[in-house]
Structure 1
């Protein structure tokens, strides 16, 4: 893979992959690490057509997350002050509404938050998600509907407060 191809792929998919990684692990540093490792593996070993690249990247990231989850839990160290640099997540979620919505999505059970991020933030179709998850399209549609309903309930509960 040539350098300009790598830069193009990185630019096209970094934000979506980072958001997906963050929705899985709910930790900025781990999400950055997972995203970086995913691109490293893509640049070293990907040899399929570009149309399958996005799906492949998301599958690799999910597998890396599962491997990390099996190995060791991540521990947050909150007492260390690091100069604040605007992260990709902050850049993408600049408006308060989107930030609140994304935070509410992360509070949902993992199976629902993952589907919502894949569908709305990473622009995968229902059929692509079904292939990725090894599920049927009606099953994915049903889980998406349940995830939306849970999210709606969560947002309505916040409004009542």
Structure 2
């Protein structure tokens, strides 16, 4: 794939992909690594995939799933929780606000389909049709998952108070 096209695609989709990857990994360095891997894999393609945006999101998700499987397979001695020496970047500073942290923690308590659809809809601003196309669901299924996810999120947030 040509460098200019790849650069334009990176400018268009990197921010959304990073937000999505961060929602999966909860660590900015891992999220950036997933996004980098996705664009590297795109650069290795001779013919660009038909829906590049969805393809990139699918690659990020699949790489994350692969990493989780490897972590489950290879359990090492657990490390004590250590603070990272990395300087907080703007997205981490944004998440440090108390209300947003509470919201992210509540979303993390939900089951996978609710988490993913809520994040894609509210944080990445995808319309229902795009989410349905990406997840291979009907529009009605996505709306139902959104409704139920909001309902469960409301329950989680009211339980915390």
- TM-score where L is the length of structure 1: 0.78
Question: Which structure exhibits the higher relative contact order, with contacts defined as CA atoms closer than 8 Å and separated by 6 or more residues?
Answer: 1
Distance in 2 (CA, whole Å) between partners of 1:127 and 1:156 is 30
CA RMSD of aligned residues (A): 2.7
Q: Which residue number corresponds to residue 22 of structure 1? A: 22
Q: Which residue number corresponds to residue 63 of structure 2? A: 64
Distance in 2 (CA, whole Å) between partners of 1:2 and 1:104 is 42
1:90 and 2:106 are equivalent in the alignment: no
Aligned-pair distance for 1:115? 0.9
Matched residue SS, 1:72: helix
The aligned runs of 1:5-154 (5 Å cut-off) are 5-45=5-45, 47-48=48-49, 52-73=51-72, 77-78=79-80, 82-87=84-89, 89-93=91-95, 95-154=97-156
Superposed CA offset, 1:26-58 (max 9, x none): 444432321221121123326257xx3322211
Q: Is the 8 A contact 1:26 1:106 kept in 2?
A: no
Q: Is the 8 A contact 1:105 1:113 kept in 2?
A: yes
- TM-score where L is the length of structure 2: 0.78
The alignment of Structure 1 onto Structure 2 pairs a total of residues equal to 157
CA gap 1:79/1:65 in 2 versus in 1, 3 angstroms: closer
Q: Is the 8 A contact 1:15 1:88 kept in 2?
A: no
